[in-house]
C-alpha cells in the first residue's frame, strides 16, 4: 500500500491504458481522479473502483480545451487538496499518408497529443507542488518514437514532441523532487482507434480509419501482433516498480530492441563520419 493516502490523477482513464494505470495505483492504496473526454466511461470506472474499496472521482475533460483541464484541476484540489502523481495519458490517432493528412488532421492530433499534455501538466503542477516528498509525472509517449511507421506522421510527430517536452520537464523539476517518467507503450488491444474516431470534434470533419493504412504501418515498423501487441494490464505490470526506481524511460512491452540498437548505431556512425573529416 505504498500509495496509501496519496492522490493520483489519470487522464484517458475511462478505458484502455488509462484504466489499467488507475487499477495499478488503486491496488497500491491510492485515491484516484479519473479524467476522460468520455465522462460516462470515466464514471463507470470510478464506480468499479469504489466497489473495490478505492476512493475515486470521475471528471469529464477535453484535454484540447485548456479551460476544461483547468476546471478539472480545481475539482481535484477541492476534493483531495493536492496531487502526488499525474499520469498525462493522452493520445488520439489519425492514420494517413503525409500528403493525405489535412490541416484539420494536424490541428486535431497536435492539439490533443501535444498541447493536451502541456496544458494538463501546467494545470496540475501547482497541485503537485502543494505536496511534499517524491512525486511523479508520467507522460505517455509511444514505441513509435523508436519505430516510426508509414501512414502515421501526425501521431509520431506528436509523440516526438511529448518526449522532448518530457526531457526538459524532468531537468527543470529535478531539484523539487518531482520525478518525470516517459512511458513507451507498444501496440495494445484497446479501444484506442474507436475512441479516437469518437473524440474528434465535428467541426474538424470525420476521422478516417482505413485498415490498409494500419497494415502498411505495421509492416514498415516491423510490428508483430505476437511480440508487439499486449493487454493494457500487461503493459502496466511494472509501472509502479519502475517509478519507485525513478526510471526515466519505461518500456512496457514489445520486441523492437534490435531496431533501437540499429538506429543508435547509425547515429554513432554519423558522428564518426563527421569526426573523420576536417
pLDDT over 90 (residue 213): no
* Average pLDDT of the segment spanning 54-61: 98
Tell me the pLDDT tens digit for each residue of 175-195.
Answer: 999 999 999 999 988 766 677
Closest by Cα among 115, 142, 114, 137 to 127: 137
* Average pLDDT of the segment spanning 227-243: 94
pLDDT over 80 (residue 196): no
Does residue 1 lie in a domain region? Answer: no
Does residue 260 lie in a domain region? Answer: yes
Global pTM reads 0.93
Q: Which residues are catalytic?
A: 155
pLDDT class of 227 with cuts at 50, 70, 90: confident
Any idea what the CATH number is for the domain that residue 13 is in? Answer: 3.40.50.720
Sequence-separated contacts (24+) of 235-242 with Cβ below 8 Å: 235/17, 235/20, 235/185, 235/186, 235/188, 236/17, 236/20, 236/21, 236/23, 236/24, 239/21, 239/24, 239/138, 239/183, 240/2, 240/3, 240/24, 240/25, 240/28, 242/181
Q: The domain containing residue 249 runs over which residues?
A: 7-275
pLDDT over 90 (residue 250): yes
* Average pLDDT of the segment spanning 224-237: 88
* Average pLDDT of the segment spanning 134-161: 96
pLDDT over 90 (residue 116): yes
Does residue 233 lie in a domain region? Answer: yes
Number of domains composing the chain: 1
Does residue 2 lie in a domain region? Answer: no
The angle formed by the CA atoms of residues 24, 17 and 184, to the nearest 5 degrees, is 100
Amino acid at each position: 500500500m505504498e500509495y496509501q493516502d496519496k492522490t493520483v490523477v489519470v487522464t484517458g482513464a475511462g478505458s484502455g491504458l488509462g484504466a489499467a494505470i488507475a487499477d495499478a495505483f488503486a491496488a497500491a492504496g491510492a485515491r484516484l481522479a479519473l479524467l476522460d473526454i468520455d465522462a460516462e466511461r470515466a464514471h463507470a470506472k470510478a464506480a468499479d473502483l469504489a466497489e473495490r474499496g478505492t476512493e475515486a472521482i470521475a471528471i469529464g475533460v477535453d484535454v484540447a480545451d485548456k479551460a476544461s483541464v483547468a476546471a478539472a484541476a480545481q475539482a481535484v484540489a477541492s476534493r483531495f487538496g493536492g496531487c502526488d502523481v499525474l499520469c498525462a495519458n493522452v493520445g488520439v490517432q489519425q492514420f494517413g499518408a503525409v500528403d493525405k493528412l489535412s490541416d484539420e488532421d494536424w490541428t486535431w492530433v497536435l492539439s490533443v497529443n501535444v498541447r493536451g499534455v502541456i496544458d494538463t501538466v501546467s494545470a496540475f503542477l501547482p497541485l503537485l507542488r502543494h505536496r511534499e516528498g517524491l512525486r511523479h509525472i508520467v507522460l505517455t509517449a509511444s514505441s513509435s518514437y523508436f519505430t516510426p511507421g508509414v501512414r502515421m506522421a501526425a501521431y509520431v510527430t506528436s509523440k516526438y514532441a511529448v518526449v522532448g517536452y518530457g526531457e526538459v520537464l524532468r531537468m527543470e523539476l529535478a531539484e523539487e523532487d518531482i520525478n518525470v517518467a516517459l512511458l513507451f507503450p507498444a501496440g495494445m488491444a484497446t479501444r484506442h482507434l474507436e475512441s479516437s474516431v469518437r473524440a474528434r470534434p465535428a467541426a474538424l470533419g470525420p476521422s478516417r480509419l482505413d485498415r490498409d493504412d494500419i497494415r502498411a504501418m505495421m509492416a514498415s515498423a516491423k510490428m508483430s501482433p505476437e511480440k508487439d501487441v499486449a493487454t493494457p494490464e500487461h503493459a502496466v505490470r511494472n509501472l509502479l516498480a519502475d517509478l519507485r526506481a525513478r526510471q526515466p524511460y519505461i518500456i512496457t512491452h514489445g520486441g523492437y530492441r534490435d531496431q533501437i540498437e540499429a538506429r543508435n548505431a547509425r547515429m554513432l556512425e554519423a558522428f564518426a563520419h563527421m569526426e573523420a573529416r576536417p
